[in-house]
Structure 1
Amino acid sequence: MTSPGEQGSTRQTHDPIAALGAGRGAGGTGGASGGGAAKLPTSSSDVKHAVSGNGSDGVGKNITSNANRGKAAGNGGNASDSMPPVTVSGGNSALPMGLRILLAGALATVACAGLYQIRDFAAPAFFALTLVLTVRPIHRWLIKKGLPIWLSAVVTITTLVVTLLGVIGLMVWSLVGLPDVVTRYATKFQDLVTSGTELLERYGLSTDRFTDAFMERFDVQSVLSALSGVLDYVSSAGSLIALLALALLFITIDTMTMSTRAKIIERHDSHLFEALSSFEGRVRQYWLVSTTFGAIVAVIDGIALQILHVPMAVAWALFSFITNYIPNIGFVIGVIPPALLGLLDSGWVTAVWVIVAYSVINAVIQGIFQPKITGDAVGLSTTVTFLSLVFWTAVIGPLGAILAVPLTLFAKAMLIDSSPGTRWIEAFLVPEAAAGKKMEEGYYDEEAPAPDAFVGANPDLFEDRSRLGRALERLLAWKDTKDTSEA
């Protein structure tokens, strides 16, 4: 016949310390129930002290609970019948890394599916948020100079909207003559394709299938129809601009005074506050530097195309400015139309010169000068940047190609940089040199991680010594003098 102490030991074999206590309690009575003299050889405090080396209070508490149940069972009680077995828990019970990665991937898939459904709203809203963060120094500077908060917000938003409308308007204006250009060079393009296929056939390569498929799909009317659709899409961007303007307005008004909320976040979770501050500094520098150098490259590209007498030089210069925001492959996308048009208009020499000019301009400006100024603003490896481009374009559409880097920076800030325990993942997202530098600085240290270099990076773009600042100061001083004299 099994004693109550043996029953407690049998039911709790998965907890070795509790089972040991129950078994010893049963042995102390010689197998008889209710012996009363049987007890654990160690007290609860001794058991806690014995497992304190695990570094987890939860482990000691669970083992103590199981030991007390075993003691009660050894004394003939029914404590083990009234309480379910408690397993040992602690740091070793965490999910395996592979399972955690699988769960994270599943959650990311669900989140991206939801984001895909609301992409028409989410993409412009996030775009507006990043633009507001970019121009916040201007907004703060205007308030500092005495402008009312609402007027500063109106000036900032108006500047952004007018700039966006100006770029879109110039793009539409420059592309108006594109249908005529396509019609004019359609025959030359077909002749070029025919010459290319004949050249390939001389070397024994069969091109019949390619030629038939191309001739069936390439039709001037279909191309013109597609171009007309593109122009309609660009010109009908008014709804997008309206949504963007409203988002800019509300976000700007809502972020006028962020000091209280920032302090709350910092006190509640200092690491999250640091990650968001780093994201703000990085996305601001990314937009400012990309816009500045993109405009410089576009102007020089336009001059080069004018010298080479490439048709629609202004349109292709604006196109290169827009594709500058597309990481990695933006240069390739921007050089194809002018090179192809130069080939059709003037021959191979012009096309080669277009490619050479674009390559040299981008290599010098964006390969030499831009990295010296931007530094580690983006902090993403080339592979991660390209994959983010493909990923975000698939999730939120064409706007995702332009927002690929800001979206990736935001996701990294929220999911990786916000916790010292997950910062080590960033080492696989940044270049090797950057990871080594951060490791030396202690950024990946879980106990006392070093702060990010971009925390608090809120540059005052317009200082008092700037000409614009002095002009506005003189205007405000004149207004104060006039008000005083009138009074």
Structure 2
Amino acid sequence: MVLALVLTIAVSPIRAWLTRKGAPAWGGGRGSVHGRHGLSVRHGGDADGGRRRAGPCWSRSYTDEFGRLAAQAQLWAAEHGISPQVNKALQSLNPAQILEFAQGLVSGVMGVLTSLFLMVVLLLAMSLDAPIISRVMAAAAAERPAMVGALTTFASKTRRYILVSTIFGLICAALDVVALYFLEVPLPLLWGLLALITNYIPEHRVRGGALVPPALLALLTGGVRGLVLVVVAYIVINVVVQSFIQPKFLGDAVGLTTTATFLSLIIWAWVLGALGALLAIPLTLLVRAVLIDSDPAAKWTGALVSGEIPRK
């Protein structure tokens, strides 16, 4: 429900634009839903296409390449006197299990995209009710200005969050695709899509999970050198863009401190699981709007969350 609400808020400017152009209310709702549905179809199609293209790749036998790498590791261990430890570690590794894990990770992410189709009915209902809600909010502004202002700010900051995350996600994904293309890693577009999806989750471990599949493929296709180059490229791209540039723009866009962002991720991931991690920022903005921003007496509580000293 919250994800449908966030998507409805994200495309509400389309409905407003259609209304200004003279489209009927139901037409604006249909236009918004078609826009979101088209986005879901496109992403779902990309996911299905990625799985179809990945099929031949996963079906290729990397056993010989894994055996060659294992033999090189054993030779290096024998030269440095640590052969028993390395042999024990290699015996615990199964290339089939590694590839199965990587494929399962990608399939799980793609399954999340495919499940968006289940929300079409709810999205349609919210889009059709959006004009009514707008009129109710306008009528309530005189009696409850603080609440209406808080909810309006919530919608605006949610759109900013999606916009900023999408822009920097596209930047990171494009850089990842270019790096993987030059390093000759299979399916660079699929791994770029995975990097774009994980960029919406403000958790470094989740974002780091996008590195696992291309790194494993680089190891099996280009050896240890390919693995090292992919890891270095991902680290440089993610550290520069996501750790130094994006937080500044994202914090200014949504008005949350770094601590509040981190705690929101922990709390909502515990409450709602993976979907809670994905919606941590919008959910925190919604709670802030209802419990803090709508109450003039809670301005200093809002200052602790946003880091902005309230004006007298």
Q: TM-score, normalised by structure 2?
A: 0.81
Distance 1:209 1:415 in 2: 56
What letter corresponds to residue 321 of structure 1 in structure 2?
A: L
Distance 2:263 2:77 in 1: 36
What letter corresponds to residue 234 of structure 2 in structure 1?
A: Y
Cα shift at 1:391: 3.1
Match of 1:286 in 2: 161
- Contact map agreement 1:179 1:227 (CA 8 A) in 2: no
Tell whether 2:5 aligns with 1:126: no
- Contact map agreement 2:77 2:86 (CA 8 A) in 1: no
How many pairs align? 308
Match of 2:296 in 1: 420
Match of 2:130 in 1: 255
Match of 2:30 in 1: 154
Q: TM-score, normalised by structure 1?
A: 0.54
Match of 2:151 in 1: 276
What letter corresponds to residue 62 of structure 2 in structure 1?
A: Y
Distance 2:106 2:209 in 1: 16
* Larger helix share, 1 or 2: 2
Cα shift at 1:290: 1.4
Distance 1:233 1:372 in 2: 27
Instruction: Map 1:40-439 onto structure 2 (within 5 A).
Output: 125-178=1-54, 180-182=56-58, 184-186=61-63, 188-189=65-66, 195=73, 202=81, 214-215=92-93, 218=94, 220=96, 224=100, 227=103, 231=107, 234=110, 240-329=115-204, 330-366=206-242, 370=246, 374=250, 376-430=252-306, 435=307, 438-439=308-309
Cα shift at 1:424: 3.0
* Deviation by residue 1:93-118 (Cα, 9 ceiling, x = unmatched): xxxxxxxxxxxxxxxxxxxxxxxxxx
Cα shift at 1:381: 3.3
Cα shift at 1:312: 1.4
Distance 1:370 1:225 in 2: 30
Query: Any gaps of 5 or more consecutive residues in structure 2?
Result: none
Distance 1:142-1:307 versus aligned 2 partners, 3 A rule: same
Distance 1:394 1:248 in 2: 26
Distance 1:242-1:174 versus aligned 2 partners, 3 A rule: closer
- Contact map agreement 1:179 1:224 (CA 8 A) in 2: no
Distance 1:273 1:353 in 2: 51
Cα shift at 1:372: 6.5
Which structure's relative contact order is higher, taking Cα pairs within 8 Å and 6+ residues apart? Answer: 2
Q: Percent identity?
A: 34
Distance 1:186-1:423 versus aligned 2 partners, 3 A rule: farther
From the CA coordinates, give the structure whose radius of gyration is larger: 1
Distance 1:193-1:151 versus aligned 2 partners, 3 A rule: farther
Cα shift at 1:355: 2.9
Cα shift at 1:358: 2.8
- Contact map agreement 2:293 2:299 (CA 8 A) in 1: yes
Distance 1:386-1:341 versus aligned 2 partners, 3 A rule: farther
Distance 1:280 1:171 in 2: 29
Cα shift at 1:394: 3.2
Cα shift at 1:149: 1.9
* Deviation by residue 1:3-49 (Cα, 9 ceiling, x = unmatched): xxxxxxxxxxxxxxxxxxxxxxxxxxxxxxxxxxxxxxxxxxxxxxx
RMSD of the alignment, in Å?
3.6
What letter corresponds to residue 123 of structure 2 in structure 1?
A: L
- Contact map agreement 2:40 2:113 (CA 8 A) in 1: no
Distance 2:271 2:68 in 1: 39
What letter corresponds to residue 185 of structure 1 in structure 2?
A: Y
Query: Any gaps of 5 or more consecutive residues in structure 1?
Result: 1-124, 443-448, 450-487
Distance 1:235 1:135 in 2: 23
Distance 1:226-1:387 versus aligned 2 partners, 3 A rule: same
Distance 1:202-1:415 versus aligned 2 partners, 3 A rule: farther
- Contact map agreement 2:201 2:277 (CA 8 A) in 1: yes
